[in-house]
A and B are shown apart, each in its own frame.
Chain A
């Protein structure tokens, strides 16, 4: 590859990634050598960096599909829309970090910020990766940064324990993913997704069992990132051990990146692979994923019923939501990708919002138990109403983003060929089950009397992410067509 070819690539398309990278490096240097007075403004630098990256990304709206570095890094509409979710979610989480009122929680604040940016960069690499190697490196950048972020609260034994569990589970999952990737590489002799798809579209012949083994092993490994059934056990422990903004990050950004890589690999490679003469390999494996989706929805929502720790409750509810998002993956219709995207976007707003409310209450009451919500309506009506909006959206009440997302997925599952009636039915039943634990929190807020007298105030900085999340949740619920038209 000579210098002319390299310069002919459109490097300008990488502007969002470069922004995040440069801001991350700048943050680490300023944190090391800067004066203490500067350090207060470092979080704003991070917010500014992510903001600039979003603007750079929006300039790419409607740009044709191009790829650089010999198809290893692609900029298609898929990468564009999903990067947008990652960036918006990270922006909200950074605002959440800034709003902190209790100071001693994490002492190494600078690390916290640039690990967050490094993880975001990994997620963006996953969204744009067109090669198994770059997908893997991006995924690991995301994972390794998250392991450290979970363990950053060194003084707290729960943080170290959560981080250790996360790391062990994550490494085993990585090994699974890689093992699957090695079989796919062996079958096709290439790591570039376009080449693999081309090789696989021919007859696989005696390679079919290897392809199936590769498919299953890789899916099991990637299930870790989205916390679905074979690898979901880490979720509650890690969410409980981590600081709340990091839990929100894992729940939204990390999970979105997991879905991105799954869609990219499984639709991209196996969606083209012919199997047994007629069907695609992906179509033959739909039942496998459907079983996982069924189990995930079932376990996530039922175990959430008996949780009292709020972060564990949201962890199990996030397992349940991951199960819902698997449904459009298996019910193949032209709008499947759109449904995944919309649900992830809605999920980002409502989950970050719910974590933000928990974060505010947790700092004031030094507890994560469900009792922090007791009598919240009398202490702070505004916060109670805001939390109600997020809970309604998570539960899927009409008028909220969560309802539109669930409704689209449900319709997609029924309209698909073959129709996934069992999955759609399970989803409906499990949504009803989820009402029990979401409404339990509302009962606590409105009907119970507060244990302690006093009012809960929302600081000005804390209101910023809350307002943005409420706007996102309600806006997408009332005017979903704005987002859906934007997607087309």
Chain B
């Protein structure tokens, strides 16, 4: 009985463990830029976690809101405290799929333009986004890059009227994921 329970446990572990078709990175870079009449805002995080499934084309990433660094400490404080409310919503995450992943040969060097569709969750709100992206394979390592615009109102990030001239509603997000070489 005991050995059977152990076996079933072992089997379930094997079935759920990431297979060799999955690429992973824990040091993905995510930046955002917002241009406003009075002030440009930009911030970057280099600790995004991402997994890409080469077989199914599923791609996901998540990033801690607090890991974004700004040039100005006060901006960073306001970003966390007043706008993104990182205590309540600590993470931003994306869960999507790359179209026609089977067209890509991960064994061969090359640059592929693809389309990604998925759910982007920020500040407790989830919206569907579709964006072109590039998959670059170079000497065995895979990188995924994309940039797209989001609107702050979509994610219920409110800008007080006092700061309207300082913060643009449209924010450009740049995602750059350099996956680890599979072991």
**A and B associate in one complex:** no
List residues of chain A with CB under 8 Å of any chain B CB.
none
List residues of chain B with CB under 8 Å of any chain A CB.
none
